[in-house]
Amino acid sequence: MSAGSNERWRVAPGGTLRGEARVPGDKSISHRAVMLGALAHGETRVTGLLEGDDVLATAGVFRALGVAIEGPRKGAATIHGVGWEGLQPPAEVLDVGNSGTSMRLLAGLLAGLPFATVLTGDPSLSRRPMRRVTDPLATMGARITTGEGGTAPLRIAGGAPLAGIDYTLPVASAQVKSALLLAGLRAEGRTCVTEPAPTRDHTERMLEGFGYPVSRGADTVCLAGGHRLHGTRVDVPADISSAAFLLVAASIAPGSDLVLRHVGWNPTRTGVVDILQRMGADIQVLAVDEAGGEPVADLRVRAAPLRGIAVPEALVPLAIDEFPALFIAAACAEGETVITGAAELRVKESDRIAVMAEGLQALGVTVEPREDGARIVGRPSLGGGRVHSYADHRVAMAFAVAALRAEAAIEVEDCANAATSFPGFVALLRALGLAIEAV
């Protein structure tokens, strides 16, 4: 763990959240819209695109590969797809900043190009494991050299003929699945990926939206290489991972009543709501609809007493990015919450098990970190004090909303990376009733 930026948030204790809001666009879907739009033939128009640092990094990669992208402005972007054959060798190393999604998915996508590329990232991303992607890609014929320890930079030789594979994921991972499917678009024959538990299926849905044939079974997705992608329209829903902080915030702050609009309601992403409802959260799912091939819904959440639970392991992959927020819910619940089967949290932007445990302990919460999860004993109110986010955007936002149940102010260090997934977090939360300021 290392320090990040100097931005710090100071959040006064207590408060009530009321009103309605639409959080920024879904980060996972935004990445894929840019990638497939660039590879498509013709124009792709995107609305609701997340204008966070991670997605902008993905857009920057494709601009460096010769793709014209207009915007994004107020969530709207137009991508002038050039097809695979229209991509051009970049003049320099492709820097994806802090975006693990960009690096892992691009590793699969770039593996099938006729020219060499190098993917790099910031110091935090350069510590995250990449062999989980590069090893199965190598079985397809990709030639990728990692840094020492299997980390970035990734040097992709290019020009290697790829062959489809039948691969069973050792650990459920939408990023690894997506990387293999993207490589499969350029591979000879059929690529099939089988997963041990359901993970987000945005790649499969979006490929179909771009006119690419995909075969999906109960736990396996397959495609054959060589088909074309066609430009289309993509409406990106609000990100349920960002909405999670508001769902927890309104649940733990007495008197809160909040409506979140047009939230992505993909069944592979609703684990956070399932877990919160099992804890006693009052969350209503309203106005279920579909936008651009993705289910959406309005969510109404009102304050409710939460109780500790043993989180079912089957729900963990469906809520893996939302666990920093869920740690806060557990800290405010009556009784103890036990999380298992979540070892993936240790290789995110930070070791989220260790970092969340450290921060909660600083606020007076009893936490027993475990290799694949944690045991958290809830309490009626949290202490105040200073916690370190270690430049992890989701950790920073989680501790910000924790102040709603604190006895004194909470100061959160290294918060600038919140812009990677939730630009405007401070302003929106302040408008809804959280006494937060950036200092």
Alpha-carbon distances of 8 from 228, 400, 415, rounded to whole Å: 47, 10, 6
**DSSP string spanning 350-411?**
S-HHHHHHHHHHHTT-EEEEETTEEEEE--SSB--EEEE-TT-HHHHHHHHHHGGGBSS-EE
What letters, b where the CB count within 10 A reaches 16 and e where it falls short, cover 139-171? Answer: ebbbebebeeeebbbbbbebebebbbbebebee
Compute how many other C-beta atoms are within 10 angstroms of the C-beta atom of residue 172.
20
CA distance 4 to 135: 30
> SS3 of 33, please?
helix
| Residue whose pair of structure tokens reads 């004090």 in the numeric block | 385
- Catalytic residue check, 321: yes
Annotated catalytic residue: which of 321, 351, 392, 414? 321
Contacts 24+ apart (CB under 8 A), 148-152: 151/126, 151/127, 152/103, 152/119, 152/120, 152/121, 152/125, 152/126, 152/128
Please say whether the beta carbons of 326 and 272 come within 8 A.
yes
What letters, b where the CB count within 10 A reaches 16 and e where it falls short, cover 387-420? Answer: bbbbbbbbbbbbbbbbbbbbeeebbbbbbbbbbb
CA distance 273 to 192: 30
Compute how many other C-beta atoms are within 10 angstroms of the C-beta atom of residue 217.
9
CA 331 to chain centre: 23
Tokens for 321, please give them: 């990015």
> SS3 of 434, please?
coil
255 φ/ψ sector (left φ>0, alpha ψ -120 to 50, else beta): left
CA 332 to chain centre: 24
Compute how many other C-beta atoms are within 10 angstroms of the C-beta atom of residue 19.
12
Q: Which residues are catalytic?
A: 321
